[in-house]
Amino acid sequence: MENIDWKNIGFGYRKTNFNIRCWFKDGQWGPLEVSDSEHINLHMAATCLHYGQEAFEGLKAFMGEDGKVRVFRMEENARRMQSSSEGILMEKVPVDLFCDAVRLAVKENMEFVPPHGSGASLYIRPLLIGTAPEIGVRPSPEYLFIIFVMPVGPYFPEGFKPTELVIYRQFDRAAPLGTGKYKVGGNYAASLVAGKKAKEGHYSAVLYLDAREKKYIDECGPANFFAIKDNTYITPKSESILPSITNMSLMQLAEDLGLKVERRRVPVEELETFEEVGACGTAAVISPVKRIYDEDQDKEYLYGFDPGPWSTKLYHKLQDIQYGDEEDVHGWVTII
């Protein structure tokens, strides 16, 4: 294995030793297979290529100071992939099968789990695709479930340093009654143009508004939105955002730290009143936000150049549980 500069690996694809595969054929799931190939042999008329029958997940494994590797809340990812599968009529991967595949993927790539203290972790990417040829718009009778892994650093290059978001009204990521709440590839394709424009403006992500009225905050690119004011953790309730497992965990930790928690519609104007703002997700962890620019209204909202006190506390609390530095009182981690 090449020498990896763990502190500066960034967030990108990297080849590791093995990936795990499992086929659904003839009405049943087959055995887990370990593969050293980075490629799949796919029919050119597979439903994943034409009609978007594709769902993925993202979770992480962390190396503890005690040398134990901990995976964070994998059953939640398994359940969310089942919900995505229901949303686009794919065969559901049983939770136990999903978790066994995660365990095996980590075990087969142990030397790629970044060392404790490096700030990096092992990103685990489950993927489910419809593989049978169909040219009429209908679901595939066959599926391939794959898990591959790679060591990663923070998603937003700033890490825990505050970033900037931008609001555009000319783009939607997902329709209100569409697939926004599922982790399916189409949502990410729909976000590429807006994402490119944001990057060109040196913003780290687009802060999407609800597609129906453009009045309420939805989510920030590949992460959920949260804000703090008056000792309250506030996060949007919306039918078109992905239910983030990180956000779900932060709501619990916020409560543990004595904050009130509100999950409700968040009008854009309320941005003015927040003391702290952040984006949260598996890849992003917590990315504090120092500025939001509303391009159409030429209006900016400022939150200070340093991470706020509650965002800092929540960030450390979450990471300490993930890396095993603090007791896992909620039973969120699985030791591999």
Site residues, ligand PLP (CB under 6 A)? 58, 219, 222-224, 242, 244-247, 281-282
The single residue among 32, 252, 283, 319 that binds ligand COI, judged by CB under 6 A, is 283
Count of CB atoms situated within 10 Å of the CB of 99: 17
Contacts 24+ apart (CB under 8 A), 49-54: 50/134, 50/135, 51/130, 51/134, 51/137, 52/88, 52/184, 52/185, 52/186, 53/88, 53/89, 53/90, 53/129, 53/130, 53/139, 53/140, 54/88, 54/127, 54/128, 54/129, 54/130, 54/184, 54/185, 54/186
Report the 3 state secondary structure along 192-251.
HHHHHHHHHCCCCEEEEECCCCCCEEEEECCEEEEEEECCEEEEECCCCCCCCHHHHHHH
Q: How far is the CB of 41 from ligand COI (least distance, A)?
A: 25
The single residue among 126, 151, 154, 281 that binds ligand COI, judged by CB under 6 A, is 281
- Please tell me what DSSP assigns to residue 38: S
Determine the size of the site formed for ligand COI (CB under 6 A).
6
Site for ligand COI in 138-167 (CB under 6 A): 155
Q: Which CB, 53 or 246, lies closer to ligand PLP?
A: 246
Among this protein's residues, is 237 annotated catalytic?
no
282 binds ligand COI (CB under 6 A): yes
Count of CB atoms situated within 10 Å of the CB of 30: 12
**Contact pattern for ligand COI over residues 238 through 267, marking x by CB under 6 A:** ------------------------------
Q: How far is the CB of 72 from ligand PLP (least distance, A)?
A: 10
Decide which of ligand COI, ligand PLP, none touches 292; Cβ closer than 5 to 8 Å per partner kind.
none
Annotated active-site residue in 60, 183, 290, 317:
183
**Contact pattern for ligand COI over residues 43 through 82, marking x by CB under 6 A:** ---------------x------------------------
Q: How far is the CB of 204 from ligand COI (least distance, A)?
A: 12
Structure tokens that stand for 176 in this block: 């209100």
Q: Which CB, 16 or 77, lies closer to ligand PLP?
A: 77
Q: How far is the CB of 249 from ligand PLP (least distance, A)?
A: 8
Q: How far is the CB of 12 from ligand COI (least distance, A)?
A: 10
Decide which of ligand COI, ligand PLP, none touches 219; Cβ closer than 5 to 8 Å per partner kind.
ligand PLP
Q: What is the CA radius of gyration of the chain?
A: 20
CA distance 121 to 287: 16
Decide which of ligand COI, ligand PLP, none touches 242; Cβ closer than 5 to 8 Å per partner kind.
ligand PLP
Q: Are 126 and 102 in contact, with CB atoms under 8 Å apart? A: yes
Q: Which CB, 126 or 151, lies closer to ligand PLP?
A: 126
CA distance 275 to 228: 6
Across the strands, what pairs with 264? Answer: 236
> At CA 145, angle to CA 144 and CA 151, rounded to 5?
135
Q: Which CB, 46 or 55, lies closer to ligand COI?
A: 55
Q: Report which residue type is found at 332.
A: W
Q: Are 113 and 63 in contact, with CB atoms under 8 Å apart? A: yes
Q: Which CB, 140 or 247, lies closer to ligand PLP?
A: 247
Residues making contact with ligand COI (CB under 6 A): 58, 155, 222, 281-283
* Residues designated as active site: 183
